Amino acid sequence: KAGVTQTPRYLIKTRGQQVTLSCSPISGHRSVSWYQQTPGQGLQFLFEYFSETQRNKGNFPGRFSGRQFSNSRSEMNVSTLELGDSALYLCASSPGGWGEETQYFGPGTRLLVL
Amino acid sequence: GENVEQHPSTLSVQEGDSAVIKCTYSDSASNYFPWYKQELGKGPQLIIDIRSNVGEKKDQRIAVTLNKTAKHFSLHITETQPEDSAVYFCAATDNTNAGKSTFGDGTTLTVKP
């Protein structure tokens, strides 16, 4: 099976702009989670989608949003970018059912905000 | 919410030696504990995991132990090789919040040839 794919791999934006990142999960996986990774804060959970519904949400401001499509592909959007949003954004997929918590990560999208 | 502490933050060993990384968690509802290896420029890769109904799990040179009472779990790597050099993360998950893992801060392991 193909692994989790994320596009784009690298992105440079300026403050105030918005950005959309995409994630394609492993075939058959219905859960997609998003994490932000920074040197100072480590890996922090943003949100998780399962069957097109947000099932869990982390402690990030409303500028961070996401959605999931019927084919389980997911996008996350960050509006009004701030310098502190520079990070590696990782998505992870899992089957999502009871006892199916094992998450498989994509390579990430590295976002630089100038 | 859940809090996961990981130690040490850096670990340097000689090739062939063993390496041990320890994590503690705070939420007794957590019942799934994966370990990930992250190499430069890549996403975290699952290397081993353990569920709360099991005390120990082994896969070749890698083993994980879990002490539910003390709320800690450890990663053991034996006969380390230079290619084991990477950042290792522990995580804790409560399956009623599947898809939401809390991660430790990571351990940078360096294996010297």
Q: Is residue A2 very low, low, confident or very high in pLDDT (cuts 50, 70, 90)?
A: confident
Q: Indicate the pairing of strand A109-113 with strand A10-13.
A: parallel
% of chain A with per-residue pLDDT over 70:
99
Residue A22 reports pLDDT greater than 90: yes
Q: Give every CB contact of residue B72 below 8 A, 6+ residues apart in sequence.
A: B22, B23, B24, B25, B66
Half-sphere CA count of A45, side-chain side, radius 13 A: 26
If you measure CA to CA, which chain B residue comes closest to A110? B41
Residue B105 reports pLDDT greater than 90: yes
Shortest Cα distance, chain B CAs vs residue A5, angstroms: 11
**Which residue in the set B41, B43, B102 is minimally distant from A90, CB to CB?**
B43
Amino acid at the residue A95: P
Is residue A34 within 8 Å of residue A74, measured between CB atoms?
yes
Cα pseudo-dihedral B79, B84, B89, B92, rounded to 10 = -50
Mean pLDDT over residues A67-91, rounded? Answer: 97
- The per-residue pLDDT for B95 is 77
Q: How far apart are the first and last CA of chain A?
A: 37
- The per-residue pLDDT for A53 is 94
| Least confident range of A3-12, A61-70, A100-109, B95-104 | B95-104
Residues B18-59 have pLDDT tens digits of 999 999 999 999 999 999 999 998 999 999 999 988 899 999
Half-sphere CA count of B98, side-chain side, radius 13 A: 18
- The per-residue pLDDT for A112 is 97
- The per-residue pLDDT for A87 is 97
Q: Indicate the SS3 state at residue B84.
A: helix
Mean pLDDT over residues A85-97, rounded? Answer: 93
Residue A54: count of CB within 10 angstroms of its CB: 13
Residue A108 reports pLDDT greater than 80: yes
Task: Find which of B101, B102, B103, B108 to mutate to test the A interface (most A CBs within 10 Å of its CB).
Answer: B101
Residues B53-77 have pLDDT tens digits of 889 999 999 999 999 999 999 999 9
Contact residues of B toward A, CB < 8 A: 32, 34, 36, 41-46, 49, 89, 93, 95, 97-106
Mean pLDDT over residues A61-83, rounded? Answer: 97
Mean pLDDT over residues A72-78, rounded? Answer: 97
Residue A10 reports pLDDT greater than 80: yes
Q: Is residue A68 very low, low, confident or very high in pLDDT (cuts 50, 70, 90)?
A: very high
